[in-house]
Amino acid sequence: MHQETIENYLKTIYHLSDGNAFVVTNKELAERLGVIPATVTEAVKKLHVLKLVEYEKSYGTRLTSAGIKQALNIVRRHRIWETYLAQELGFGWDEVHELAEELEHIKSDKLVQKLAQKIGNPSYDPHGDPIPDEKGRFQKAEFKKLAEARAGKTYTLSGVADHSPAFLKFLDRYNLKIGTTIKVLEIENFDGSMLTLCNSKEIRLSLQVVSNLLVR
C-alpha cells in the first residue's frame, strides 16, 4: 500500500472518530475520501493486515494504538505546516489547509522538527486546533460553539469548526481572528442570529456563522 494512501486513511479515520478509538463506518470513510464504499472495504482490509486498524467484517473500523500513533504524527505534520505557512511565509488561514494536505506527506521528521522550532513549537494551529507534540500528546481544547453562548457575556474566539476558505475569508472581512473578543449583545429567537460586538463594531452573525465559531 502506498504511504500516502495509508496516511490519508489513518488521518480520516482519526478525525471521524474524533480522536477517540471509536468505530468508523465504510460509508463515512468513503464520503470523506471521495471514493466508493467498495474501495474502502479493500483498503481497510489491507490496513488490518498492517495492524494499523482493527477491522470486523460488516461492523466497522477503529485505529489500533499503532494506527493512532501514526495518525497523530500526520495531524502534527499537517498543523505544523499550516502554522509555518501562516507565520513564516505570510499565507492566509484560508490558504494553508490545501497546501498542508500535500506537505504533510513529505517523509522527514527532522524537517517537521525544524519547522516547529522555527515557529516556537506552537500548541495551536491557525484555526485554533491543537498540535500534538512529537510523542502525540496535546491538551484537548475545551471550546464551545458561540451558538450556545448567552447574551450579555463576552467570549474569546478560539477556533473555527468550518475550515473552508469561503468561511475564513468571510471572517477576515470583519477582522474576526483567533483571539478576537466577541461580546454577545442580543440573541434573535426567530433565526438564531446574534447581534455581537467585535472590534468595537456591532455585527449581526447568522446561526450558520455562530455555529462554526468556537469560543472560550
Cα-Cα-Cα-Cα dihedral of 97, 17, 132, 171, to 10°?
Answer: 40
Q: Which residue has the cell 447574551?
A: 151
Site for DNA in 42-101 (CB under 7 A): 42-44, 46, 57-60
Site for its own copies in 72-91 (CB under 8 A): 85, 88-91
User: Which range of residues in 39-47, 71-79, 117-125, 142-150 is near DNA by CB under 7 A?
Assistant: 39-47
Binds DNA by CB under 7 A, chosen from 13, 40, 63, 171? 40
Regarding 115 and contact with its own copies (CB under 8 A), the answer is yes
First CA to last CA distance, the chain: 42
- Distance, CA of 187 to CA of 185 (rounded, Å): 7
Binds DNA by CB under 7 A, chosen from 15, 18, 22, 27? 27
Q: What angle do CA 51, 130, 96 make, to 5 degrees?
A: 95
91 vs 138, beta carbon nearer its own copies: 91
Regarding 104 and contact with Mn ion (CB under 5 A), the answer is no
Let me know: does 10 contact 67? Beta carbons within 8 Å.
yes
Shortest Å distance, C-beta 78 to Mn ion: 6
Shortest Å distance, C-beta 161 to its own copies: 26
Shortest Å distance, C-beta 204 to its own copies: 34
Regarding 172 and contact with DNA (CB under 7 A), the answer is no
Q: Which residues contact 124 (CB under 8 A, 6 or more apart)?
A: 83, 130, 131, 141, 178
- Distance, CA of 57 to CA of 211 (rounded, Å): 36
State how far Cα 53 lies from the chain centre: 21
Q: Which positions lie near DNA, rule CB under 7 A?
A: 1-2, 5-6, 25-27, 30, 33-44, 46, 57-60
For binding to its own copies (CB under 8 A), which residues are involved? Answer: 85, 88-91, 99, 102-103, 106-108, 111, 114-115, 118
